[in-house]
A and B are shown apart, each in its own frame.
Chain A
Amino acid sequence: MVTISSNLLFIAFILYLVATLFYGGAITSKKGAIDKKGTNRWGKIAVLLTIIGFISQLGYFITRWIAAGHAPVSNMFEFTTFFGMALVGAFIVIYFIYRTTLLGLFTMPVAILVIAYASMFPREITPLIPALQSYWLHIHVTTAAIGEAILAISFAAGLIYLVKAIDQSKASKRTFWLEVVMFSLVTVLGFVAISSTFSGLGYHEKFTWIDKHGNEANLEYTMPALTGPHEGKLLTKEGFQPLVEMPALINAKKLNTVIWSLMAGLILYGVIRVILRKRIAAALKPLVKNIKLDFVDEISYRSVLIGFPVFTLGALIFAMIWAQMAWSRFWGWDPKEVWALVTWLFYAAFMHLRLSKGWHGEKSAWLAVIGFVIIMFNLVAVNLVIAGLHSYAGS
């Protein structure tokens, strides 16, 4: 069951990749208006592949559920892949409302990155500790992820808007920040590339080090240590000697991963720039020339309108019900909860600015980008960095 499950996930991943190529084909081969009925043959194949991929991933989800005996949304790998799946699902729904393949060209790469990122985490099926043994938890996590995924579609649409609306002929603050967004996406790819490379090589090196309470501890790196742990001693023969040693307060291993990913991201980005000979956003501009600005603006807003209630229900209301059952209090101000609140407040502000202050178009698109950054922060940083502060585990 477990092998079937992971094969299905792999098939889905490949299908998403191929579908993305077809979305690209659909845009470049098209002449004339895009936002009218016509999805051309390339586009139809792309959507079909996306749907098959989605079904395959659904198969992964169900088989893994059967194998584990609980919904597979209980660790980073499972949750993040589910988020990727929800993203694809949300795109399919929005596609059938608005019939634009261009959205696929921007959404699918994000979904692919999310799933690739997910597979960098341990993939074993984990048992549930008592607090997690609640169907409310599963309802909460899945609904929240679906809500976030729908909100993320607004990011994809916002990105299309910005690529189209921003004048790339001269450098400005806007081109800079849009390029920062592009660079961040490339860096995720960098992280995936560098992690898979070192894990493919089977790289390991062990340290003993002194933590901030003065205790000696063991630590294992899976990438060569550029930043070594506090008073770290390299135990592995022929291991890489750290370039700098970090104070005990800083998690040297995580920092090391971040540095490697940034380097990989920079190199990838550099290569892309050399090939394209212009900003990534500028290179994408021809792809979006046929779409109307107010059309993508509406898709972006509509996704927020659809996603916000789902997110509220999943990330706040169901979360409160679960917390009430498990911890006897529906709200406890733990970082994860607070960041759900932050996300929610942000989108509330977004909707008010739009409805009452008339923040349409570009301003709205930037807000959609910021919203996605907050969602990703909640997914990545709060789990790995902030929550990690409480537990002093070195990994």
Chain B
Amino acid sequence: MKDVKCECGHVNPHGTVLCEACGKVLDENEKKNPVLDMRYEGSARRSQTYNKTIIDKIWNFFSSVKVGVWLIIITLIASALGTILPQEMYIDQPPEVYYEEEYGWFGKLYYQLGFNDLYGSWWYLLLIAMIGISLVICSLDRVIPLYKALKAQRVTRHEGFLKRQRVFGINTHVDNDDFTVIKKHLKEKRYRVREENGDILAEKGRFSRWGPYVNHVGLIIFLFGGMLRFVPGMYVNENLWVREGETALVPETGEKLYLKNNQFILQHYDKNKDKTFKKAIEEAGEVVKNYQSNVILYNRVGENIPGEKPKLEAIKDYKVRVNHPLTYEGYSIFQASFRSDLEAMTFALTNKETNQSFGEMKINLRNPKSVYDLGNGYSVKLLSYFPDFEFGKNGEPSTKSRVPNNPAFVFRMISPENPKGETSFVAIKQTIEPSGNNTYKMSFKGIETKNVSGFIVRKDSSLWAIILGGIIFMIGVIQGAYWNHRRIWVQNKNGEVWIAAHTNKNWYGLKREIETVLTDTKLNIPEDQLQIEKQDKEVV
């Protein structure tokens, strides 16, 4: 493909619409328009020039703003659809039952369409990926030619270029003093004024033209950060339950960090103390004020020898609260939830008839003893223990898990008069005696619970990209939105003074600025050629 040499001598790349240097219209089609299409300065963009190979076609597809806008709109609609019913991650039942049960046929359809996990679906991710690709290609397609064109522009412009600017005017009366006044005014308005052959080009805010590209780069970095998450090791997200008084290994830290939970604290607002909230608290019942775990973070010192207790060194004493995570070396530990677990149960060995007690025993539910000696010849053997009791399929007692949610015991109660012992099955709110007529019973005395703090352990090594992307994006939008690129040409043509102006946005502001620039001169205010047309129409 050949480069195009303009009559001003500048060599333009193939596909250029307006000469980069003088602005002469090089493209025949563009000549027909009364007002030039100034987007991208009429520079040669790859997408407008090549359309042969499959790569050209893909390039052109993704560089089109039309396609970009469609991608945005489709993503927007898809995102909105995902909010009609709660997403799978917010429900605590199996989705195949939940949606139909809660929302009838509509819920079923929603589930069948896969909307229950919309934001994790392949097609949603594909949409986002396509937006990413589109961002990269459309920016590359435009930014380099635009940069070249803005850099190469000369002060003196071709007549055809000036005449076809949206804001344009001709003055037959020429007065050199006017130029001095204009220059002064332009400088006051912070224009950069360049002069050649007595012609003026005043320009300001060119850097705002890079705003969109800067913000797109920010978005690309942000999306890249989102993708990093899928790289193993970049993203840790684990639940960690630690009971009060215990120390637990923090997962995914290479067996380095340990967390001790000293105390869990739950506070409610008190309507008598927090008087301002009295009415609201009465309305709502109880309102939680604080969830807090007082913890100590430890570092293991020395080698990790299996079977041996690790040596720990305290590094941080911290109160983990909601909104105040404990952070250490990239790991953050958040207060996420809590529960209270059964810790111990106390029973008394009691004579059924006399109700006389022969001693109490406290069973540690997570570590029960096999024999409890109550003295004077009385003792209790624990034959079986079911921490999370249920009747199994064959009617046999069994346990669902090792967590003491619903403890049940088989006791053998030994007494001086009955040294062989009597057997009794005891679960919460029920007692079964295999022999049918025991003298003794285990009477329930009390229960002890212990708070368990639920933490989320998170390490997100992609966060830097997210933050960087966000910052760059913000810089870019502000750059593009709060400034605009304005140019004013004041040039001598055929013994007249021609004034033309261009801005990438906010024409009204530009026109007002020209009015101030031209005050105290005899020059006419140039007209908005599009505005005239519109007014004509309104009259008709």
Contact = CB atoms under 8 A, between A and B. Distances in A.
A309 B72 contact: no
Interface in B52-78: 65-66, 68-69, 72-73, 75-76
B429 interface: no
Interface of A is mostly: helix
A129 interface: yes
B528 to A, nearest CB: 8
A338 B82 contact: yes
Interface string B499-530: 00000111111000000000000000000100
Interface in B135-169: none
B277 interface: yes
A335 B89 CA distance: 12
B75 A345 contact: yes
Given A125-B276, A386-B84, A298 B507 contact: yes
B79 A338 contact: yes
Contacts of B173: none
B481 A130 contact: no
A154 interface: no
A31 interface: no
B291 A130 contact: yes
Contact of A328 (B90, B276, B334): B334
A328 B321 contact: no
Nearest to A75: B280
Contacts of A275: none
B280 A127 contact: yes
A317 interface: yes
A263 interface: no
A338 B77 CA distance: 11
A309 B79 CA distance: 21
Nearest to A341: B79
A352 B69 contact: yes
Given A130-B290, A249-B103, A328-B336, A306 B506 contact: no
Given A130-B291, A305-B482, A346-B76, A389 B85 contact: yes
A325 B335 CA distance: 10
Given A298-B507, A330-B466, A312 B482 contact: no
Given A302-B506, A339-B80, A328 B332 contact: yes
Nearest to B120: A333
B393 interface: no
B72 A352 contact: yes
Interface string A322-366: 000111111001110011011001101100110111000000000
Contact of A301 (B75, B269, B322, B505): B505
B540 interface: no
B294 interface: no
A129 B84 contact: no
Interface in A92-148: 122, 124-127, 129-131, 133-134
Contact of B83 (A308, A313, A330, A339): A339
B87 A333 contact: yes
Residue among A293, A305, A334 with max Cβ neighbours from chain B (10 Å): A305
A357 B69 CA distance: 10
A302 B69 CA distance: 20
Given A306-B481, A342-B79, A298 B86 contact: no
B108 to A, nearest CB: 13
A231 B86 CA distance: 26
A320 B469 CA distance: 13
Given A305-B482, A338-B79, A339-B80, A124 B68 contact: no
Contacts of A355: 212, 504-505
Contacts of B119: 333
Given A352-B65, A357-B66, A357-B69, A338 B280 contact: no
Nearest to B282: A124
A126 B87 CA distance: 29
A374 to B, nearest CB: 9
B430 interface: no
B454 to A, nearest CB: 12
Interface residues of A, number: 56
Contacts of A312: 473-474, 477
Nearest to B219: A348
A391 B287 CA distance: 16
B397 interface: no
Nearest to A327: B334
A361 to B, nearest CB: 9
Nearest to A390: B86
Nearest to A2: B276
Contacts of A124: 277, 279-280, 283
A345 B76 contact: yes
A382 B79 CA distance: 13
Interface residues of B, number: 66
A134 B323 contact: yes
Given A131-B322, A298-B509, A334-B90, A357 B65 contact: yes
Residue among A212, A306, A338 with max Cβ neighbours from chain B (10 Å): A338
A308 B80 contact: no
A310 B413 CA distance: 74
Contacts of A327: 334
A342 B276 contact: no
Contacts of B69: 349, 352-353, 357
Given A249-B104, A352-B65, A386-B83, A130 B321 contact: yes
Contacts of A341: 79
Contacts of B276: 2, 67-69, 125
Contacts of A68: 276
Interface in B184-241: 212, 237
Interface in A278-305: 293-295, 298, 301-302, 305
A345 B66 CA distance: 15
B126 interface: no
B288 interface: yes
B256 interface: no
Interface in A53-78: 67-69
A175 B389 CA distance: 70
Contacts of A212: 102
B410 interface: no
Given A305-B482, A330-B466, A349 B325 contact: no
A334 B90 CA distance: 9
B89 A308 contact: no
A130 B65 contact: no
B482 to A, nearest CB: 7
A133 B274 contact: no
Interface in B246-292: 269, 274, 276-277, 279-281, 283-284, 287-291
Nearest to A293: B534
A89 B73 CA distance: 31
B531 interface: yes
Nearest to B274: A127
Nearest to B138: A356
A309 B269 contact: no
Interface string B474-505: 10011001100000000000000000000011
A108 B325 CA distance: 43
Complex A-B, nearest 10 residue pairs according to Cβ-Cβ distance, in ascending order:
A130-B322, A356-B65, A328-B334, A335-B83, A127-B277, A305-B481, A345-B76, A124-B280, A126-B280, A298-B508
28 contacts: A122-B280, A124-B280, A126-B287, A127-B269, A127-B280, A127-B281, A129-B288, A130-B290, A130-B321, A130-B323, A294-B528, A294-B534, A298-B507, A305-B482, A313-B474, A317-B474, A326-B322, A326-B323, A328-B325, A329-B458, A334-B90, A342-B79, A345-B72, A352-B65, A355-B504, A357-B65, A389-B86, A390-B90
Given A329-B458, A342-B80, A352-B69, 10 more contacts: A125-B277, A320-B470, A327-B334, A328-B325, A339-B80, A341-B79, A349-B72, A352-B72, A356-B39, A386-B83
Interface of A: 2, 67-69, 122, 124-127, 129-131, 133-134, 212, 249, 293-295, 298, 301-302, 305-306, 308-309, 312-313, 317, 320, 325-330, 333-335, 338-339, 341-342, 345-346, 348-349, 352-353, 355-357, 382, 386, 389-390
